[in-house]
Amino acid sequence: MEPDLAGKEKYPHVIFNQYDWDEVGVKMPESKIALQREEGRSFADQPSGYLLHKASLWVFGGILFLAAWKGQAGIVILLGLVFSAAGLAALWSRASLAGVRCRRRVRERRFFPGESTELTLEIFNRKPLPLPWVKIDDEIPVELARDLAPVPANRPGYYLLSRWASILWYRKVSWKCQLHGEKRGYYRLGSLTVTSGDIFGFYPRWRQFASADHITVYPRIFPIERLEVPSLHPMGEARTNRRIFQDPTRPIGLRDYRPQDSLKHIHWKASARRQELQVKVFEPATTLKISLFLAGDGYPPEGPRSEEEFELAVSTAASIAHQLIDQGTPVGLISNGCQADSGQAIQIPPGGSRDQLMEILEALAKVTPRAKDSSEAFLERESKSLPSGTTLILVASQIPESFFRLLRDLRERGTKMLLLRIGDPKESALDGMIPSYPIRHPGDLLTINPEVQA
């Protein structure tokens, strides 16, 4: 069951690719690095291509001279026709790609698994010379092209989508196909190659262009009917609809010091004026702040189970973010997993807008199970910058014992935590330290209640 934001009207980022198109192929936007265009002639693959080579000219020239010397008019005429056809074909081939432009358009570059997007390839012939044949090859990631029955490309992980056509002068031809997103990820579309030549196919020429296009497939979002977060009940086990915290960034007054007050809240100037200790009174905050931590390491060794558990962890974080933001709770995301496009970790501060949810889903679509820092080192560094009163929800698989010290320190500092353990967790010293709940399959997300598990 996908959330309602999966529809087209919920995609604020849906755009058509806006590129300037070079003479043949795509040109990257001004802010990007210029395209590396490659051009070549495929003479070696065509036996007829050797007709106009230097060595061939000397050989055929000698034969022509001997035939003329011996008065063999038929041989002279035949060789003349061959050289004329070859020369005309070579000239035609040289002009075949002049004035030719190609374009790739992707209707929706962001969607959920199970959805599809339309890919359009276009070729323009902007010259008076027709193209008796032209071929365009597009490199498509394997995960998006399974229903197109293409052929494997030379580049690992890509299929080659090929289309042929004949184009008259000043005409355009286009092809449309559907790319289906079956798996979460950030996919870069490969290069475009345009091939054409003379009418005989003696001297084909090609041009290849790099591409800046990409497609993002968001993680799957599963329904959550009940989500129990520890900080929903800050005063004990009794439940209340009002969430009471003090926001240290919003002072509203002063009062006399009490023994249980923190020294960091003392207003020293006011205390000096009144000759007795005064502490700041803060405005109560009625909204939780949740920060999701997705561990990018600690999963089983390489294999199908490792990938399944990591994808389940990503979908768990996405489902919780969707559920809480839909209820109006600000949610942030941190992860030591490197993103596919930038290679950087994820650091998104809490927020509750619809754009915040899209930013989190975008980051989760790009996250990979590769981490530069360990989960312990990353979380220890990031926990120092978490907003006061933030509840930390950890999504991880295997928790090493070295992680316990950090979690114990966070608990002693008053940080509310909930641990969602992905896969089949084993008993450890962590049990009982902080509330935890196992997520073995998507069905466990329907009700997340650590009290029941305990």
Share above pLDDT 70 across residues of the chain, in percent, rounded to a whole number = 77
pLDDT at 236: 38
Compute how many other C-beta atoms are within 10 angstroms of the C-beta atom of residue 328. Answer: 9
H-state helical runs in 281-388? 304-326, 354-366, 375-383
Helix axes 354-366, 304-326, angle to 10 degrees: 170
Question: Which CATH number does the domain 226-232+287-453 belong to among 3.20.20.70, 3.40.50.300, 3.40.50.10380, 3.40.50.410?
Answer: 3.40.50.410
Of the candidates 307, 421, 321, 390, the residue with the CA atom closest to the CA atom of residue 361 = 321
Question: Where does the pLDDT of residue 94 fall: very low under 50, low under 70, confident under 90, or very high at 90 and above?
Answer: confident
* Distance, first Cα to last Cα, the chain: 29
Mean pLDDT of 34-39: 44
Q: Which helix (H) or strand (E) holds 235?
A: none
Residue 242 has pLDDT above 60, yes or no: no
Distance separating alpha carbons of residues 350 and 132, to the nearest angstrom:
59
Residue owning tokens 């032209």: 134
Of the candidates 412, 282, 386, the residue with the CA atom closest to the CA atom of residue 331 = 386
Under 8 Å between Cβ of 391 and 229: yes
Mean pLDDT of 219-238: 69
Distance separating alpha carbons of residues 253 and 292, to the nearest angstrom:
33
Residue ranges per structural domain of the chain = 4-43+97-217, 226-232+287-453, 251-285
Residue owning tokens 């926001």: 247
pLDDT in tens, 303-348: 667 788 999 999 999 999 999 988 888 999 999 999 998 889 999 9
Question: Token pair of 272, please?
Answer: 């000096």
pLDDT in tens, 266-310: 888 888 888 888 888 765 554 578 999 998 887 776 666 778 899
pLDDT at 85: 75
Which is higher by pLDDT, 243 or 339? 339
Distance separating alpha carbons of residues 443 and 430, to the nearest angstrom:
24
pLDDT in tens, 397-423: 887 777 788 888 888 887 888 889 888
Region for residue 303 given its phi and psi (left: phi exceeds 0; alpha: psi -120 to 50; beta: otherwise): left
Query: 4-43+97-217 has which CATH code?
Result: 2.60.40.10
Q: Which helix (H) or strand (E) holds 148?
A: none
Compute how many other C-beta atoms are within 10 angstroms of the C-beta atom of residue 61. Answer: 12
Region for residue 90 given its phi and psi (left: phi exceeds 0; alpha: psi -120 to 50; beta: otherwise): alpha
Work out whether the CA dihedral 437, 442, 443, 448 comes out positive or negative.
Answer: positive
DSSP 27-91: E--TTSPPP--EEEE-GGG-GGGGGGSHHHHHHHHHHHHHHHHHT-HHHHHHHHHHHHHHHHHHH
pLDDT at 250: 59
Distance separating alpha carbons of residues 376 and 382, to the nearest angstrom:
10
Which is higher by pLDDT, 237 or 294? 294
Cα distances from 67 to residues 51, 63, 71, 72, 174, in angstroms, run 18, 6, 6, 5, 50
The pTM of the full predicted model, rounded to 2 decimals, is 0.71
Residue 198 has pLDDT above 90, yes or no: no
Mean pLDDT of 388-394: 85
Name, of 77-81, 350-354, 424-428, the range with top average pLDDT.
350-354
Distance separating alpha carbons of residues 291 and 2, to the nearest angstrom:
23
Helix, strand, coil percentages for the chain (3-state, nearest 5): 30, 30, 35
Q: Is 134 helix (H, G, I), strand (E, B) or coil?
A: strand
Cα distances from 312 to residues 3, 116, 252, 309, 359, in angstroms, run 17, 22, 44, 5, 19
Residue 38 has pLDDT above 90, yes or no: no
